Chains A and B, each alone.
Chain A
Amino acid sequence: MTPAPNPVYLDHAATTPVRQEVFEAMKPFYGPSFGNPSSTHRWGREARAALDEARERVGRCLGARPDEICFTSGGTEGDNLAILGAWRALKAQGRTAVVTTPIEHKAILGAVHQATREGAEERMLAMTADGVVDLASFEELVDDAVAVCSIMWVNNEIGSIQPIPTLAAKAKQRGALMHTDAVQAFGKIPIDAQKQHFDFLTISGHKFGAPKGIGALFIRRGTPLEPLMHGGTQDRGRRPGTENVAAAVGLARAAELTLAECEAHCARLRKLRDKLEAGILARVPDAVIHGRGAERAPHIVNVSVPGTDSESLLMALDLRGIAASGGSACQSGSISPSHVLTAIGVRPDLASAAIRMSLGSLTTDECIDRVTEVFPALVAKARQFATAEQS
């Protein structure tokens, strides 16, 4: 084993460490404050108070009222609840189509496929080469047959930003419900449910310093929704099951901290991101940075170098102590070319060479320096083998 000198974590879009403040905020609920919020006694009341407060605080972070916040287990559950819950509630009214984009997270694509198995009509929006929804396609596909339209705010692989406020307003005019997966957007893009017209919005705690297994779905007051699970009356019956009080408190704390630091954090990440991209392009001039022409969130860089493959590069990076990620990983952990890059028309050889580096709280100037040194060296080596093979 050769332990790398300074491990570099560039996979913040996959997950982030739990913040110390968040951990501290959660602790009492793993200790003396262990009550069940549905109980009527003092332990129950204490837990209920913490949960109610957490709901209010998360609501404030999104410009939402407390009853519009539904705690979930994370992004996948929020996405499924919004899409399937809305579609199942609306299909009786003759709204049978579900609109989405081909660059969504698998949680959305999977939920939409499930809706089609239940009789929905799936409509896929066209994308520009930079990974942004084609507006003409949106105008054409979002009509009065649409039950729900789901478009991710920030793409998790290339960081491209969709004009959600504009799209949500248009969807509203046509009577379609609008969902946005804001898992990568929270803390990077201003979100305000009072001014923006989305009906559902998904966030996931572990992307911004809360633990895994907690997230929230914003559900605008009065929006029809069938629950996915059945049982108790927790969360107004939308999400039965004893609430994860500690994690909800952690989510609230993490959300507040994230928003308080948002501006400075994003400025810092943007600077580091630009330095990383410039550093790579200076040493590997033909590297392709995907979605570069679009408005992008500051924490994601997705780069393909012609003549390399992601699988080998990721292994080599990992063995040098640098953590990045590739396309979609399957159950076995093997990597297939990204469906996102394929959908925006990236050449297959470039799609299978893609490396996503995502920046965050652990990223420093030194990290970027190390990556801009190691990555080009590994690329050069990979290409040297590729050339040797051709000759």
Chain B
Amino acid sequence: MTSDRVLVAMSGGVDSSVAAGLLVEQGYDVVGATMKLFCHGEDVPDRLCCSLDSVNDARRVCEQLGIPHYVLNLESRFGHDVVDNFVDEYARGRTPIPCVRCNTFTKFRDFLKKADAIDARWIATGHYARVVDRELHRGVDENKDQTYFLWGIDRAVLSRLILPVGGLDKAQTRSRAHAMGLEVIAEKPESQEICFVPDGDYALILEQRLPADAPALSRGPIITSSGAVVGEHNGFARYTIGQRRGVPGGYAHPMYVIAIHPEQRAVVIGPRDELLGSGIVAREVNWLADAPRVGDNMSVRVRHRAPLARAEIVRLDSDEIELALDEPVSAITPGQSVAFYDGGRLMGGGFIEASRPKRAALPVLAA
């Protein structure tokens, strides 16, 4: 193996561009690659490449850095692992988190295979997170930290992963971009939206891919937690737990979506305190550290940028975990992720299966 070759995933944005530039400065044999993940072109598949502008930006950056650039077509795998799942999850009344699955399957699995093919010892991305002694830690910039999306990657990947901007804050990254002469991308705005959802309108994707009479997109009742029907909605997939928009008004307190019951096509609403959960059940659990034991405490995060909450492990199987929260947490949403932390270190995570209204007592240690 060429010990110092690194394949950098380049989106055309400032973070991955600076990541590549830093690696060049550090003397690595850097190869840039942009993953083409989706295409909204209609009859002629190659006609309209939605990622074209990003690809062009990434290519310009690589030209400036003097490194080769390739485009990797991961459309079919991404479509299967990420987009299909995204649609299925909404159809089941859940709120998916495609960026986690993209990291798990696309960026840190499929992309790694491309690195193997070109004898690259390392892969790198522009994520705000840090690899320290084969452990994954939060990025220096707490505001930009992206570890919440990285819990699902294979632990073995950490021994081949470099995250060059994890030690910078966003302002430093931008100033490095200027210093490297990468004016094309240095002031590019942040992309916060889901990359394959045009104009942030995820319902459009669902309408394209689900049958017209799919329950998730059909009319159903809006109910309260006591079961009273208080309105009608146009498809539960258009609602997310914690949402206020589209919820009937006229109550003493603001009302929120607190649950979705797909089998009754019902959207359940309630006041803010009904959003609170004291326990979390999560599945598809993955560990980036040695698995803890029942009774151990961890910090957990149920949304990107949500405050960390203390929790105790009350049940732990190979694939599933149940956590009891010290303090209730708002809007624990099935389909989203829960990430586990020990201080600054990301321990692992899972997909939220259910929120428990009451704190579960430890069966053995109950006192």
Q: Are A336 and B29 in contact (CB under 8 A)?
A: no
Count contacts on B: residues with CB < 8 A to the other chain. Answer: 30
Q: Are B68 and A313 in contact (CB under 8 A)?
A: no
Known contacts A1-B29, A1-B66, A332-B49; is A315 also within 8 Å of B55 by CB?
no
Q: Are B117 and A381 in contact (CB under 8 A)?
A: yes
Q: Which of B29, B71, B116 contacts A2 (CB 8 A)?
A: B29
Known contacts A311-B72, A312-B113, A316-B119; is A336 also within 8 Å of B46 by CB?
yes
On chain A, the residues within 8 Å of B72 by CB distance are 311, 334
Q: Are A385 and B116 in contact (CB under 8 A)?
A: yes
On chain A, the residues within 8 Å of B119 by CB distance are 316, 319, 381
Contact with A along B51-68 (1 / 0, CB 8 A): 110010001000000111
On chain B, the residues within 8 Å of A311 by CB distance are 70, 72-73, 114
B92-131 residues with Cβ-Cβ distance < 8 A to A are: 113-114, 116-119
Of A311, A313, A332, A336, most B-chain CB atoms within 10 Å: A332
Q: Is A32 an interface residue (CB 8 A)?
A: no
A198-217 residues with Cβ-Cβ distance < 8 A to B are: none
User: What's the A-B contact tally at a CB cutoff of 8 Å?
Assistant: 70
Q: Are B45 and A336 in contact (CB under 8 A)?
A: yes
A314 and chain B: residue at smallest CB distance: B70
On chain A, the residues within 8 Å of B45 by CB distance are 330, 336
B5 and chain A: residue at smallest CB distance: A2
Q: Are A332 and B113 in contact (CB under 8 A)?
A: no
Q: Are B117 and A313 in contact (CB under 8 A)?
A: yes
Q: Is A331 an interface residue (CB 8 A)?
A: yes
Count contacts on A: residues with CB < 8 A to the other chain. Answer: 22
Q: Are B73 and A316 in contact (CB under 8 A)?
A: no
Known contacts A2-B2, A319-B31; is A332 also within 8 Å of B117 by CB?
no
Q: Are B71 and A319 in contact (CB under 8 A)?
A: no
Of A313, A315, A316, A328, most B-chain CB atoms within 10 Å: A315
Contact with A along B225-265 (1 / 0, CB 8 A): 00000000000000000000000000000000000000000
B32-55 residues with Cβ-Cβ distance < 8 A to A are: 33-34, 36, 44-46, 49, 51-52, 55
Q: Which of A312, A316, A328, A389 contacts B46 (CB 8 A)?
A: A328
Q: Are A332 and B118 in contact (CB under 8 A)?
A: no
Give the distance to chain B from A143, nearest Cβ to Cβ, in Å: 27
Q: Are B68 and A332 in contact (CB under 8 A)?
A: no
Known contacts A1-B66, A316-B117, A381-B117; is A333 also within 8 Å of B71 by CB?
yes
Known contacts A328-B46, A332-B49; is A315 also within 8 Å of B117 by CB?
yes
Q: Are A312 and B117 in contact (CB under 8 A)?
A: yes
Give the distance to chain B from A327, nearest Cβ to Cβ, in Å: 10
Give the distance to chain A from B289, nearest Cβ to Cβ, in Å: 25
Assembly CA distance A341 to B316 (angstroms): 51
Q: Are A382 and B71 in contact (CB under 8 A)?
A: no
Contact with B along A244-283 (1 / 0, CB 8 A): 0000000000000000000000000000000000000000
Contact with A along B63-97 (1 / 0, CB 8 A): 00011101111010000000000000000000000
Contact with B along A143-182 (1 / 0, CB 8 A): 0000000000000000000000000000000000000000
On chain A, the residues within 8 Å of B46 by CB distance are 328, 330-331, 336
Assembly CA distance A330 to B45 (angstroms): 9
Q: Is A107 an interface residue (CB 8 A)?
A: no
Contact with B along A51-69 (1 / 0, CB 8 A): 0000000000000000000
16 more A-B residue pairs beyond the given contacts A316-B117, A333-B55, with a C-beta to C-beta distance below 8 A: A1-B30, A1-B66, A2-B5, A311-B70, A312-B113, A313-B117, A315-B117, A319-B31, A333-B59, A333-B70, A334-B36, A334-B75, A335-B73, A336-B73, A381-B116, A385-B116
B residues adjacent to A (C-beta < 8 A): 2, 5, 29-31, 33-34, 36, 44-46, 49, 51-52, 55, 59, 66-68, 70-73, 75, 113-114, 116-119
List 6 A-B pairs, minimum CB-CB distance, nearest first.
A312-B117, A330-B46, A334-B73, A334-B71, A333-B71, A334-B36
